[in-house]
Amino acid sequence: MAGLKDYVNNKVGENRDQIEHHVREILKLIGEDIEREGLHETPARVTRMYEEIFGGYEIDPREVLGVTFEENHQELVIVKDIVYYSQCEHHMAPFFGKAHIGYIPSGRIAGLSKLARLVEVVTRRLQVQERITSQLADIMEEVLDPAGVMVVVEGEHLCMCARGVKKPGSKTITSAVRGSFRTDAASRAEFLSLIKD
Ligand X SMILES: Nc1nc2c(ncn2[C@@H]2O[C@H](COP(=O)(O)OP(=O)(O)OP(=O)(O)O)[C@@H](O)[C@H]2O)c(=O)[nH]1
Residues noted as catalytic:
88-91, 129, 157, 159
Q: Which of residues 78-117 bind ligand X (CB under 6 A)?
A: 88, 90
At residue 117, the 3 state secondary structure works out as helix
Stretch that binds ligand X, among 22-30, 73-81, 125-133, 186-194 (CB under 6 A): 125-133
Look at residues 43, 129, 49 and name the one whose alpha carbon lies nearest to residue 86. Answer: 129
Q: Is the CB of 44 or the CB of 159 nearer to ligand X?
A: 159
Does position 133 bind ligand X by CB under 6 A? no
Instruction: State how far the alpha carbon of 86 is from the alpha carbons of 43, 55, 76, 126, 154, in Å.
Output: 20, 11, 27, 7, 12
Which of the 8 DSSP states describes residue 107?
S
Cβ-proximal residues to 13 (8 Å cutoff; 6+ apart), any chain: 51, 58
Q: Is the CB of 29 or the CB of 165 nearer to ligand X?
A: 165
Among 129, 133, 134, 187, binds ligand X (CB under 6 A): 129
Among 114, 125, 157, 188, binds ligand X (CB under 6 A): 157
**Burial class for 154, CB neighbours closer than 10 Å (0-12, 13-18, 19+):** middle
Q: Residues within the annotated binding site for Zn(2+)? A: 88, 91, 159
- Other CB atoms within a 10 A radius of the CB of residue 191 amount to 25
Q: Which of residues 162-191 bind ligand X (CB under 6 A)?
A: 164-165
Among 128, 158, 161, 192, binds ligand X (CB under 6 A): 128
Look at residues 49, 52, 177, 60 and name the one whose alpha carbon lies nearest to residue 122. Answer: 60
Q: Is the CB of 90 or the CB of 171 nearer to ligand X?
A: 90
How many chain residues are in contact with ligand X, going by CB under 6 A? Answer: 10
Q: Using CB under 6 A as the criterion, which residues of the chain lie in contact with ligand X when the complex forms?
A: 88, 90, 128-130, 157, 159-160, 164-165
